Structure 1
Amino acid sequence: MLLQLLDYLGVAVFAIAGSIVASRKGLDFVAFLFFATLTGIGGGTLRDLLLDVPVFWLKSEGYLLVCLGVSIFMWFFAHIVEGFGKPLRWADAIGMSAYSVMGAAKTLSVGDTPVVAVLMGVATATFGGVLRDVIAGEPSAIVKSEIYVTAAFVGAGGFVAMKAFGLSGWVAAAIAALLALLLRGGAIEFGWSMPGYKNNKRKDT
């Protein structure tokens, strides 16, 4: 049950993030719907295609209805949502946290290895936002110095590790999603980042 809720939560908050991008560019409602749906289902679609399983939103139209509902809501209230601090980044953070766990959980459920589950969790959590930013012509969080992909890795890896140690699915999911959200939240509010690569190669003499 919790994993299903995480799935819908990930779609909804990613759809909010997509709608915010559309609102900031002053686009029409069809564009709102496009960006909300693209962001909401993009990561899960990539995951299911790579896993060679039925694409989740083709099996249940509820996910598309969530994107539609979010689009309608944001069409009327995006300006109010923008009044909250950093709504795009926080929507992305919540969606990433939920989807990192959901992506890993679904991968394990179809019998793939823990390593593949972690990779699919990261892909599920990040691909929709990256695709949205590329199409919108915006710089993606994935190429910024602050923690983003690392948080998705912690969420997916934490879930897989806790499941391996025998924790129940909902406990592992809740803890892993919270860890990912706290890490990404720290990056948003305090600029947390991992050490970056530095080229210390000596110049030729």
Structure 2
Amino acid sequence: MNVIYILDIVGVAVFSISGFLAARENKMDLFGGIIIAFVTSIGGGTIRDLLLDTRVGWMSNEVYVLVALSSAVFAYFFAKQLHYLRRTLKFYDAVGLGLYAILGLEKALEHGENYSVGIILGVVSASFGGVLRDVLCNKIPFLFQREIYGTAAVIGCGFYVLMDYVGWANDFTFVLACLLITTIRLIAVRFNYKLPFLNESI
């Protein structure tokens, strides 16, 4: 069991918990909370795999399903305590963002897609579970608001693509790209950096 796989599982758990807490805030029942948690944790990867016309990851490895569901149940019993750990959850969310973006990019490149498609699918992998969560909760998706979230994924994926183009793509640059995304996101959260609103006069 390698470090990337462990971080992958942790990411599924964190995204599942964030989905369940969002459902709780919207006064859904337990079943609704579990569905939202599941969609949040595996939605991005599912969309990516469908677009790549390959077998969906969680259908080949039931560990992802078990982690997503058990994390939702955990959030049900410890929701109040988790409310006080939001900073910790944001940290792991940032780690998951970086990891899933580069994993999604790599998978796209392994399937013969070009760099542009790879970057798009990297962003999809990392953030579209959250988009589905927000849509199901009848909210404007977090990704489309002013948070530096998808932008961080694009920058990190762009860096990894550059490394691949010059022939420097390896385990070190993989980790470096993940850390770049995570760091950008954490700095944005720490200092409340946000993107500007669209100028309606343009």
- Is the TM value for this pair above 0.5? yes
Determine helix, strand or coil for the equivalent of 1:54.
coil
Of 1-10 and 66-75, deviating more is 1-10
Q: CA offset at residue 61 of structure 1?
A: 1.0
Aligned length: 201
Query: Using a 3 Å threshold, how does the CA distance of structure 1 residues 57 and 17 change in structure 2: closer, same or farther?
Result: same
Report the counterpart of residue 82 of structure 2 in structure 1. 81
Q: Which amino acid aligns with 2:55?
A: P
Q: Describe the shift of the 1:5–1:84 C-alpha distance in structure 2 as closer, same or farther (beyond 3 A).
A: closer
Structure 1 residue 32, shift from structure 2 partner = 2.5
From the superposition, tell whether residues 25 and 86 of structure 1 become closer, same or farther in structure 2 (CA, over 3 Å): farther
Provide the residue aligned with 2:29 in structure 1.
Answer: 28
- Seen in structure 2, the aligned counterparts of structure 1 residues 142 and 34 have a Cα distance that, compared at 3 Å, is same
CA distance change for structure 1 residues 23 and 90 in 2, over 3 Å: closer, same or farther? Answer: farther
Contact 1:3 1:102 in 2 (8 A): no
Query: Once the two structures are aligned, what percentage of the paired residues are identical?
Result: 37
Q: Is 2:9–2:64's contact at 8 Å kept on the other side of the alignment?
A: yes
Mapped contact 1:92–1:129 kept (Cα < 8 A)? no
Give, in whole Å, the separation in 1 of the partners of 2:91 and 2:27.
21
State the Cα distance separating 1:82 from its structure 2 match: 0.7
Task: Provide TM-score, normalisation by structure 1.
Answer: 0.85
Matching residue's letter, 2:143: I
- 1:116-138 alpha-carbon deviations (Å, 9 max, x no partner): 11111011111110110111123
User: Which amino acid letter does the alignment assign opposite residue 17 of structure 1?
Assistant: S
Pick closer, same or farther for the CA change 1:80–1:107 going to 2, 3 Å: same
1:92 is displaced (CA, Å) by: 3.9
Aligned counterparts of 2:161 and 2:10: Cα–Cα separation in 1: 20
The aligned residue for residue 10 of structure 2 is 9
The verdict on how the C-alpha distance between 1:7 and 1:158 changes in structure 2, with shifts beyond 3 A counting, is farther
Q: Note the C-alpha offset of 1:28.
A: 3.1
How many Å separate the matches in 2 of 1:40 and 1:60? 14
Aligned to 1:154: 155
Question: How far did residue 97 of structure 1 move?
Answer: 1.9
Give the letter for the 2:67 counterpart. Answer: V
* Structure 2: stretches of 5+ with no match in the other structure: none
The alignment's C-alpha RMSD in Å is: 2.3
Deviation at 1:68, TM superposition (A): 1.4
C-alpha displacement of 1:55: 0.9
Q: Distance in 1 between matches of 2:132 and 2:48?
A: 14
- The answer for the alignment partner of 1:104 in structure 2 is 105
CA apart distance, 1:15 = 1.0
Q: What's the TM-score once normalised by structure 2's chain length?
A: 0.87
